[in-house]
Amino acid sequence: MTGSHPRPSLSRRSKILIGIGVGLLLLVLIAPRVVSLITDWLWYSSIGYTEVMSTTIVTRIVVFAVVAVFVAAVIFGAMYAAYRVRPDFVMLSSPNDPLARYRTTIGTRPKLMFALPAVLIGLMAGLIAQGSWATVQTFVNRESFGIKDPQFNMDIGFYAFSLPFFRMILDIVIIALVVAFIGNLVMHYVFGGIKLGGGGQRGSLTRAARVQLAVIAGLFMIAKAVGYWFDRYDLLYSDRRGDIFTGATYTDINFVLPSKLILMAIAIVCAIAFFAAIALRDLRIPALAAVLMLVSALIIGVIWPAAMEQFSVKPSAITKEDPYIQRNIQATTDAYRIRDGVDVTYEQNWTSTPAKPELVNADEPTLSNIRILDPDVVSRAFDQRQQLKNFYGFPKQLAVDRYPVKEKLPDSEQTVERQRDFVVAVRELDPSKYDANQQGWINKHTVYTHGNGFIAAQANKVDEASGADSRSDRGGQPVFLVSDLDTIGKPGYAQQPIQVKQPRIYFGELLANVNPDYAIVGSADGQKHEYDGDGLTYTYTADSGVPLSNLGTRLLYALKYGERNFVLSDQINEASKLLYNRDPRDRVKKAAPWLKVDSKTYPAVIDGQIKWIVDGYTTLQNYPYAQRMSLAEATADSRATTVGQTGRQLPDEDVSYVRNSVKATVDAYTGEVDLYQFDTQDPVLKTWMKVFPGTVKPRADLDKNTDLLAHMRYPEDLFKLQRQLLSKYHVADSGTFYRANNFWTVPADPTTSDDNRLQQPPYYFTASRPFGYDAQYQLTAVMTALNRPNLAAYMTAASDPDGYGKITVKVLPTINQTMGPQQAAENMTSNGRVASDRKLVEETTKVTYGNLLALPVGGNGILYVQPMYTEAKSGNSAIPKLYRVLTYYNAAAGGDNVSVGYAPTVAEALAQVGISPVAATAPEKDGGAATEPAPTANPTPQAPSNNGKDSPARDAAVKELGQALENVRKAQSSGDFKAYGEALDNLDKAIKKYESTGG
């Protein structure tokens, strides 16, 4: 007998209270999610990307439902099956048998009692599985790579899209079977199908219990066998030799791979043994099978490969790993697009012969574009000179872009258009700088809604040389080109190289630092509430934003932000709109959740409109044999980690495949998001374009927008990732790769302190293209020998539409040592003239060194240039000013003819190291903007030519300048510091005399 016990019951009042409590709990848990879903839908509708949200939600719901139903059904079936075959009579183990109450409770409503835990576990499994919606969608819409792995001859698309999906299904099946086995086992125990021995009684197991448990265990072993089959493919991104390379090693292929097949066979045998228990009453067979599986997994799967690795492979690793290292090199260069001869061009033994002076002096694209404004340093000058109001601001790290500039030729009314670099920023709204009396809700969200203006400063010039006039505060300051409400339409604006039609900034990166970042705009009665300038108000006119025209929408956002003013404020009317998610990177990320976005974004003027340009990446975590890299570690440098405000890093994820597949733009006024296909060959992007059709515009649409193409640049984070890889993967020979005797190192930033010596960031600038003398916008970096300071290679990526993405690596000869950036910086700052002057300057001002640029000049010459800034030591109004320009010139690798320049202008600093200042000398008073064309035929090495102009005064000045240059060289060679100083003074006079003649 099972015994009888009274059923527990609750009073009506208790039931009502429990119901109210459950209702409130559900409201607290579900209501915020519902509000978030509805408001997200409204936001996606406002930017025209509802398909992204609908596809994501539908996929999540389907995955959740399928997994939840499957897991719940399996668990319910296992538990109910045990109940259906329970013994008709169960002897009580004692008068107080604790299981009797459970049997009674379950027996009253068995289906409900089994359904509750099954549904609960099914819901949990569904919630976990729905997070893998992307795995399901990419499997359904998968594209082929057209490349097969070298081991199993499977298309890479199988590893990218199919294998993760199969793994997900297998994991769900295993979880369901494990829980089902436990549930079935417990039910059999509760209802007497299983009795434990003890107290003089033997344990027992009914036939029904034995059959059911054997079937579930057998299915589990089949699932394990399938798992061992899939484990074979996982070996291709093994991390066994992660310190050397990623991918299957000799041990993995020759020992682990066979062990997986053996274990798979054993798992199948074990499954058969479990199924055999259905007919055989002897449980020793499945018990022995289980022990065999555990022992085999330990010995065959772990101990044997480890022993062979230690005693057979490691002693001869350099030969045994040879083919597998070669596979890694091939896969890595494919996955990251750094293939020799396809994506990367190497120039071996660069600088092995001395640079020809006439070619160096004629290198006008490089010498005329030397950037003396460091975007990180001069951001403070932007703040002090262009902030205007306390609630405006600029990022601490500005951007560098290029624009065509018309410049007059010397002694002529003719102009020539040249590409010049600009440090650019927009005057954004910066809510973090609001004063106490500006913190009210109305001010923060309805009055101060937008910034005003596009600000640019030509990167190779300042207003005038520092100290030119002691009575003026000019000197060393950027020359600003301003496009805002005060300057547009004013006289002279039409001649400005950068012209903006709509200068108001409603979307910007500074807004990411506040939460919430929303603005309420629009007016129904014609009243303008938005601050637009002193005495000026404005109303947003673009057709974007979420309408707040009805009480329901306002109530939703009141709940979302916890702000009652959405319902109560009379500042909101039927024409009001809500702008939020205003950081460009966040908008792109939400519009394309499958993308990773570059940590840097930059504003550009496209057809008169200010657009934020954002680079988007498609990535894969597992690409067979490709080197696995940490995005956060590979892209971290001194600039990425020390810059506040908007400095970001890529997520801390490991990847083995990266493509800059998408270029995105965000309109600074309307917030419109446009995604453009950039890489037409990327199968990952093609897959996502099938998942979300119409969200990414085809490459043809991008090609039509030539103005946008002209401002696209090679993404910085991808370049840093490739730079890190090329420090090793420039080596094609597996033996050399294993020995690591020809690897490089990304150098530390010489401008940072010794306590915070992080990697030197790459730099954007315009210079001569690697194999030519026409100007090209480039992203560049240098690399040093492995754990050594001497220069080993120079890397550059083309960023202009013509030749975009082509990477050139100039490799220096190893028989000579050339000064690296740290050595050059130390030699420049420790130079006698520099050190003595710096010591005097540092007594009264703060000295900051700008970015150290390494510039190839004249084909084989290496010119280092570093700006030196001074500013007040204290006070919030300190403005960094260009004080001096340092140059360090080496005409050839290992050459002894190395000299240091230190002068107020680029032209003078170049002249001091023996390079003609013509290309870097401007007819205006500035810090070195090039406006005079370089000599093209038979240039004079000692001094600039007169470009065919017949002027006796200039001829005399040229002759005198040439003689002064020669005297400087002789004084440098002699080591006579007194003569050297006199020669520099004479050179300065000669330059000024030359400039006075129109040179």
Q: Report pLDDT for 640.
A: 64
Q: Report pLDDT for 22.
A: 75
Q: Report pLDDT for 696.
A: 97
Which DSSP state fits 8? P
Render the burial of 472-504: b for 16+ CB within 10 Å, e for the rest: eeebbbbbbbbbbeebbeeeeeeebbbebebbb
User: Which sign, positive or negative, has the C-alpha torsion 490, 495, 501, 505?
Assistant: negative
Among 1-10, 403-412, 542-551, 982-991, the range scoring the smallest mean pLDDT is 1-10
The neighbour count for residue 380, using CB atoms within 10 Å, is 19
Distance CA 692, CA 615 (A): 19
Residues ≥6 apart with Cβ < 8 Å to 730: 340, 344, 346, 744, 793, 809, 811
Average pLDDT rounded to a whole number, residues 798-822: 92
pLDDT of 693 > 80? The answer is yes
Report DSSP letters for 436-485, one per residue: GGG-SHHIIIIIS--EE-EEEEEEEEESS-TTS-TTSS-SS-EEEEEEST
Average pLDDT rounded to a whole number, residues 503-531: 89
Distance CA 473, CA 475 (A): 7
Q: How confident is the model at residue 948 (pLDDT cuts 50, 70, 90)?
A: very low
In tens, the pLDDT along 633-689 reads 888 887 765 444 456 778 889 999 999 999 999 999 999 999 999 999 999 999 999
Average pLDDT rounded to a whole number, residues 850-869: 93
Q: Compute the radius of gyration of the chain from its Cα atoms.
A: 36
Distance CA 640, CA 752 (A): 13
Distance CA 67, CA 75 (A): 12
Distance CA 462, CA 929 (A): 8
Q: Report pLDDT for 695.
A: 96
Average pLDDT rounded to a whole number, residues 867-885: 87
| Nearest Cα to Cα of residue 377 among 740, 750, 879 | 879
Q: How confident is the model at residue 727 (pLDDT cuts 50, 70, 90)?
A: very high
Render the burial of 645-661: b for 16+ CB within 10 Å, e for the rest: bbbbebeeebbbbbbbb
Distance CA 978, CA 981 (A): 5
Distance CA 662, CA 594 (A): 11
Mean pLDDT of all residues belonging to the chain: 87
Q: Report pLDDT for 926.
A: 41
Q: How confident is the model at residue 773 (pLDDT cuts 50, 70, 90)?
A: confident
Is the distance from CB of 280 to CB of 300 less than 8 angstroms? no
In tens, the pLDDT along 363-378 reads 999 999 999 999 999 9
Q: In this structure, what token pair is assigned to residue 84?
A: 């259906």
Average pLDDT rounded to a whole number, residues 839-859: 90
In tens, the pLDDT along 132-169 reads 999 999 999 999 999 999 999 999 999 999 999 999 99
Q: Report pLDDT for 472.
A: 55
Average pLDDT rounded to a whole number, residues 306-329: 93
For residue 375, report the phi and psi dihedrals to the nearest 5 degrees.
Answer: -60, -25
In tens, the pLDDT along 911-947 reads 999 898 887 764 333 444 333 333 333 333 333 434 4
In tens, the pLDDT along 813-826 reads 988 888 999 999 99
Is the distance from CB of 678 to CB of 661 less than 8 angstroms? yes
For residue 411, report the phi and psi dihedrals to the nearest 5 degrees.
Answer: 55, 35
Strands 744-745 and 763-768, how do they pair?
A: unpaired
Render the burial of 807-817: b for 16+ CB within 10 Å, e for the rest: bbbbbbbeeeb
Is the distance from CB of 867 to CB of 903 less than 8 angstroms? no
Q: How confident is the model at residue 832 (pLDDT cuts 50, 70, 90)?
A: confident
Is the distance from CB of 793 to CB of 782 less than 8 angstroms? yes
Q: In this structure, what token pair is assigned to residue 980?
A: 């050297």
CA distances from 568 to 442, 518, 551, 564 (A): 12, 17, 10, 6
* Long-range pairs of 972-977 with CB within 8 A, sequence gap ≥ 24: 972/899, 977/832
In tens, the pLDDT along 97-106 reads 666 666 667 7
The neighbour count for residue 888, using CB atoms within 10 Å, is 26
SS3 at position 129: helix
Q: How confident is the model at residue 785 (pLDDT cuts 50, 70, 90)?
A: very high
Distance CA 95, CA 80 (A): 27
pLDDT top residue among 693 and 975: 693
In tens, the pLDDT along 326-351 reads 999 999 999 999 999 999 999 999 98
Distance CA 269, CA 396 (A): 66
Q: Report pLDDT for 972.
A: 53
Q: Report pLDDT for 942.
A: 37
Q: Report pLDDT for 920.
A: 78
pLDDT of 755 > 70? The answer is no
pLDDT of 6 > 60? The answer is no
pLDDT of 8 > 80? The answer is no
pLDDT of 876 > 60? The answer is yes
Among 142-146, 455-459, 906-910, the range scoring the smallest mean pLDDT is 906-910
Residues ≥6 apart with Cβ < 8 Å to 511: 428, 429, 431, 517, 582, 583
Q: In this structure, what token pair is assigned to residue 896?
A: 């002894």
Distance CA 22, CA 28 (A): 10
Which phi-psi region, left, alpha or beta, contains residue 889 (left: φ > 0; alpha: ψ -120 to 50)? Answer: beta
Q: Report pLDDT for 200.
A: 54
Q: Report pLDDT for 999.
A: 53
Is the distance from CB of 611 to CB of 668 less than 8 angstroms? yes
Average pLDDT rounded to a whole number, residues 828-857: 90
Q: How confident is the model at residue 90 (pLDDT cuts 50, 70, 90)?
A: low
- 3-state secondary structure labels for all residues of 952-976: HHHHHHHHHHHHHHHHHHHHHHHCC
Burial class (CB in 10 A: 0-12, 13-18, 19+), 901: buried
Distance CA 115, CA 749 (A): 63
Q: In this structure, what token pair is assigned to residue 361?
A: 């002096």
Q: Report pLDDT for 955.
A: 64
Average pLDDT rounded to a whole number, residues 761-765: 95
Distance CA 813, CA 817 (A): 8
Q: How confident is the model at residue 442 (pLDDT cuts 50, 70, 90)?
A: very high
| Nearest Cα to Cα of residue 958 among 985, 935, 927, 977 | 935
Render the burial of 133-157: b for 16+ CB within 10 Å, e for the rest: bebbbbbebbbebeeebbbeeebbb
Residues ≥6 apart with Cβ < 8 Å to 991: 907, 908, 911, 917, 921, 961, 964
pLDDT over 90 for what percent of the chain?
63
Average pLDDT rounded to a whole number, residues 292-321: 92
| Nearest Cα to Cα of residue 321 among 737, 629, 724, 740 | 737
Q: How confident is the model at residue 233 (pLDDT cuts 50, 70, 90)?
A: very high
Strands 194-195 and 204-205, how do they pair?
A: antiparallel
Q: Report pLDDT for 929.
A: 39
**Distance from chain centroid for Cα 881:** 32
Q: Which residue reads 């974007």 in tokens? A: 544
Q: In this structure, what token pair is assigned to residue 970?
A: 């002789």
